[in-house]
């Protein structure tokens, strides 16, 4: 199900890239589309679960299972702090882009990607407390993992659609002559 969602987001990003007149914007949406295709493949292959299981197996073979928490806690904290730090920095950058709505949309999509990367890192590290936060039903049957995953995916999807729509209206506005505005 999540793999199909990621493919849908990738298609929206491809659509956004085709409507860009600026090469940097088109490259951004193509890169985001490629990331979501990779996410879809990873999800379809259960790569996160395999990576988590291999890390556990490695720790068991090295008789380091008791050290697992000592390794996991700093990794989980570092992943979370990096993701939060990047999102805060990007949020501050939004103020500088008030007059550039398409740039704002790309930055917001980037923030959602950072949230996705942080979520993936926390799922792979699989610390007991973070697993409890992510996978227990905090709001009835709704899990925080789903809220972040679906929310970030929906954010990128909407930013891509809005970027394309804004590019279309901006492009048609740029092609109008002065006499058309006087009517």
Contact 26, 17 (CB under 8 A): yes
Instruction: Return the H-helix or E-strand segment holding 95.
Output: none
DSSP classification of residue 142: E
pLDDT for residue 32 is more than 70 = yes
Return the pLDDT at 166: 81
* Residue 100: how many other CB atoms lie within 10 Å: 11
Render pLDDT for 69-106 as a digit per residue (tens, 0 to 9): 677 778 778 888 888 888 888 888 877 777 788 889 99
Instruction: Indicate whether 117 belongs to any domain.
Output: yes
Helix, strand, coil percentages, rounded to 5, for the chain: 85, 5, 10
Q: Domain total for the chain?
A: 1
Domain residues for the domain of 119 are 2-169
What tokens does 146 get? 């789903």
- Residue 65 pLDDT grade (very low, low, confident, very high; cuts 50, 70, 90): low
Backbone φ and ψ for 137, nearest 5 degrees, come out as: -75, 95
What is the model's pTM?
0.79
Calculate mean pLDDT across residues 21-30: 91
- Residue 173 pLDDT grade (very low, low, confident, very high; cuts 50, 70, 90): very low
pLDDT above 90: percentage of residues in the chain: 36
Instruction: Indicate whether 122 belongs to any domain.
Output: yes
Annotate 19-60 with three-state secondary structure: CCCCHHHHHHHHHHHHHHHHHHHHHHCCHHHHHHHHHHHHHH
Calculate mean pLDDT across residues 32-52: 91
**Residue ranges with strand state E in the chain:** 137-139, 142-143
Measured CA to CA, the distance from residue 153 to residue 23 in angstroms comes to 24
- Residue 169 pLDDT grade (very low, low, confident, very high; cuts 50, 70, 90): low
pLDDT for residue 130 is more than 60 = yes
Measured CA to CA, the distance from residue 112 to residue 137 in angstroms comes to 22
Tell me the average pLDDT of the chain.
83
């Amino acid at each position: 199900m999540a793999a199909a969602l990621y493919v849908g987001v990738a298609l929206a990003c491809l659509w956004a890239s085709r409507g860009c007149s600026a090469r940097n914007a088109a490259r951004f949406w193509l890169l985001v589309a490629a990331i979501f295709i990779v996410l879809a493949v990873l999800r379809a292959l259960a790569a996160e679960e395999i990576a988590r299981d291999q890390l556990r197996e490695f720790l068991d073979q090295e008789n380091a299972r008791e050290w697992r928490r000592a390794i996991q806690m700093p990794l989980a904290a570092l992943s979370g702090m990096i993701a939060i730090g990047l999102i805060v920095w990007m949020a501050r950058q939004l103020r500088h882009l008030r007059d550039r709505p398409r740039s704002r949309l790309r930055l917001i999509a980037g923030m959602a990607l950072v949230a996705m990367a942080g979520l993936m890192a926390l799922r792979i590290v699989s610390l007991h407390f973070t697993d409890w936060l992510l996978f227990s039903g905090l709001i009835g049957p709704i899990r925080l993992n789903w809220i972040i995953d679906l929310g970030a995916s929906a954010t990128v999807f909407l930013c891509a659609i809005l970027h394309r729509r804004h590019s279309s209206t901006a492009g048609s506005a740029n092609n109008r002559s002065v006499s058309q505005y006087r009517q």
